[in-house]
Amino acid sequence: MVNRLEKEKRLKELSNLLANPDLIKNQREYASLSKEYKKLGQILMKYNEKDQLEKEIQDLFEMIRGSDTEIKEMAESELTLLQKKLSNTELEIAVLSNPKLAEYDKNCIVEIRAGAGGDEASLFAADLFRMYSKYCERRGLRLEVLSSHPSEIGGFKEIIFAVEGSNAYRHFHFEKGVHRVQRIPVTEAGGRIHTSTITVAVLPEIEETQFIINPNDLRIDTFRAGGHGGQNVNKVSSAVRLTHIPSGMVVVCQDERSQHKNRERAMKILRARLAALDEEKKQYEIDTQRRMQVGTGERSEKIRTYNYPQNRVTDHRIGLSLYNLDRVIEGELNGLIAKLEEHETAGAQNL
């Protein structure tokens, strides 16, 4: 209750601050306070929902104590539903109030790479990218490809994309790790089931003002792009390679015709990677944080398995198997992610 009163007091303070016309002159401060105001509003709305549910539950208890059998059964059924809603609302409050999960409302950068399995791994990387694209459409999120390295048979050796929109990182952060697929490849003449892996890294997008990269620490090379894009891409030095000299981290972008756009995209990826590395531990070797996310790509490491012959998708972190892979691969990830969120938020309540 004290925590709630503090939030109500802070919301009033923010309302007064945001009403000050002078604040508009400081866009960075205005954006920060607006974000805090929105988050507190969401939390207090959930508290109000919790109050209403508790009142309705109490009324049902009273009804059950003084009713005949038929009404009592109806009230008990309604009570079960309301108690489930109350539990979910309490979990939402725990998540929204947890400062460790403040990155949830950020945009994010997703990196997909083919792991073990050769051509089949690159094809599955393309399938997974398509799955995430359709999921973004369903959630009203905007997806923008930042960099891609297609394989010769129509898959991706690597593809990096940004996801923008409400709670983008919240929707995608469960995807980081090794994804394993079991199916008969289109390249397999004998019809044998093949096991391949791809790795996924998910990094919260970092604004330029949040993480400053010293220009003297960068080496910028331009060159002619290869692959898609037509003659202009191949004739003009539009591709950009950024090398962060202190760490040795390299980012290459060549998908756009414009050198400026490729450089902008490369900086976005580099900033997210360096910020993630710095956040994890500044003393770690380069790419430690990303290696923790994706592992080595070996078949024995996995967070999720997509088994096509059984139409089954299994998330190994929570021991959940669903027999609707055909729908999941079409972007229907809500059910799976809801279970992962339920598991995570239950833990958040105990923090």
Over the stretch 30-51, which tens digit does the pLDDT of each residue have?
Answer: 888 888 888 889 899 999 999 9
SS3 assignment, position 171: helix
Is the pLDDT score of 188 beyond 80?
A: no
pLDDT band at 307, cuts 50/70/90?
very high
> 138 and 55, same structural domain?
no
Provide the pLDDT for residue 55. Answer: 92
The dihedral region occupied by 142, where left means phi > 0, alpha psi between -120 and 50, and beta the remainder, is beta
For residues 141 and 88, the answer to whether their CB atoms sit within 8 Å is no
Measured between its terminal Cα atoms, the distance across the chain in Å is 18
Tell me the C-alpha distance between 253 and 144, whole Å.
Answer: 13
183 φ/ψ angles, rounded to the nearest 5 degrees: -165, 170
For residues 181 and 304, the answer to whether their CB atoms sit within 8 Å is no
SS3 assignment, position 202: strand
For residues 164 and 172, the answer to whether their CB atoms sit within 8 Å is no
Over the stretch 175-184, which tens digit does the pLDDT of each residue have?
Answer: 999 999 999 8
Q: Which domain holds residue 116?
A: 105-208+296-348
| Burial zone of 235 (CB within 10 Å; 0-12 exposed, 13-18 middle, 19+ buried) | exposed
Residue 285 lies in a domain: no
Provide the pLDDT for residue 290. Answer: 52
> 109 and 203, same structural domain?
yes
Average pLDDT taken over every residue of the chain: 83
C-alpha dihedral (159, 160, 164, 166), degrees to nearest 10:
80
> 307 and 236, same structural domain?
no
Q: Is the dihedral of CA 96, 99, 104, 105 positive or negative?
A: positive
Provide the pLDDT for residue 143. Answer: 95
Q: Among the three residues 280, 305, 321, which one is the final residue of a domain in this structure?
A: 280
Residue identified by tokens 């059950």 is: 64
Range ranked top by mean pLDDT from 57-61, 198-202, 221-225: 198-202
Over the stretch 96-128, which tens digit does the pLDDT of each residue have?
Answer: 776 656 667 788 999 999 998 888 999 999 999
Provide the pLDDT for residue 226. Answer: 65
Give Cα 229 to chain centroid, integer Å: 29
Provide the pLDDT for residue 90. Answer: 84
Residue 319 lies in a domain: yes
SS3 assignment, position 321: strand
Tell me the C-alpha distance between 92 and 98, whole Å.
Answer: 10
Nearest-Å Rg of the Cα atoms of the chain is: 24
Residue 26 lies in a domain: yes
For residues 220 and 240, the answer to whether their CB atoms sit within 8 Å is yes
pLDDT band at 351, cuts 50/70/90?
very low
For residues 334 and 138, the answer to whether their CB atoms sit within 8 Å is yes
Residue 290 lies in a domain: no
Share of the chain above pLDDT 70, in %: 83
pLDDT band at 305, cuts 50/70/90?
very high
Is the pLDDT score of 349 beyond 70?
A: no
Per the structure block, which two tokens stand in for 65? Answer: 């104590």
| Burial zone of 184 (CB within 10 Å; 0-12 exposed, 13-18 middle, 19+ buried) | middle
Q: Among the three residues 97, 124, 159, which one is the final residue of a domain in this structure?
A: 97
**CATH no. for residue 267?**
3.30.160.20
**CATH no. for residue 320?**
3.30.70.1660
> 221 and 87, same structural domain?
no
Tell me the C-alpha distance between 315 and 308, whole Å.
Answer: 14
Give the H/E segment covering residue 249.
strand 249-253
> 183 and 233, same structural domain?
no
pLDDT band at 236, cuts 50/70/90?
low
pLDDT band at 234, cuts 50/70/90?
low
Provide the pLDDT for residue 284. Answer: 46
Residue 31 lies in a domain: yes
Per the structure block, which two tokens stand in for 67? Answer: 């009713």
pLDDT band at 287, cuts 50/70/90?
very low
> 133 and 167, same structural domain?
yes
Provide the pLDDT for residue 47. Answer: 93
C-alpha closest to that of 238 among 251, 214, 255, 250:
255
Per the structure block, which two tokens stand in for 212? Answer: 């400053």
> 323 and 178, same structural domain?
yes
Tell me the C-alpha distance between 204 and 184, whole Å.
Answer: 35
Is the pLDDT score of 315 beyond 80?
A: yes
Q: Among the three residues 280, 313, 330, which one is the final residue of a domain in this structure?
A: 280
pLDDT band at 285, cuts 50/70/90?
very low
Provide the pLDDT for residue 300. Answer: 53
pLDDT band at 297, cuts 50/70/90?
low
pLDDT band at 210, cuts 50/70/90?
low
> 223 and 202, same structural domain?
no
> 203 and 301, same structural domain?
yes
Provide the pLDDT for residue 232. Answer: 44
Over the stretch 8-25, which tens digit does the pLDDT of each residue have?
Answer: 999 999 999 988 888 888
Q: How many domains does the chain have?
A: 3
Residue 288 or residue 166, greater confidence: 166
- Residues 13, 107, 263, CA angle at the centre, nearest 5°? 125
Provide the pLDDT for residue 80. Answer: 87
| Reduced 3-state DSSP string for 23-71 | HHHCHHHHHHHHHHHHHHHHHHHHHHHHHHHHHHHHHHHHHHHCCCHHH
Residue 289 lies in a domain: no
**CATH no. for residue 49?**
1.20.58
> 228 and 122, same structural domain?
no
| Reduced 3-state DSSP string for 132-153 | HHHHHHHHCCEEEEEEEEECCC
> 166 and 116, same structural domain?
yes
134-151: average pLDDT: 93
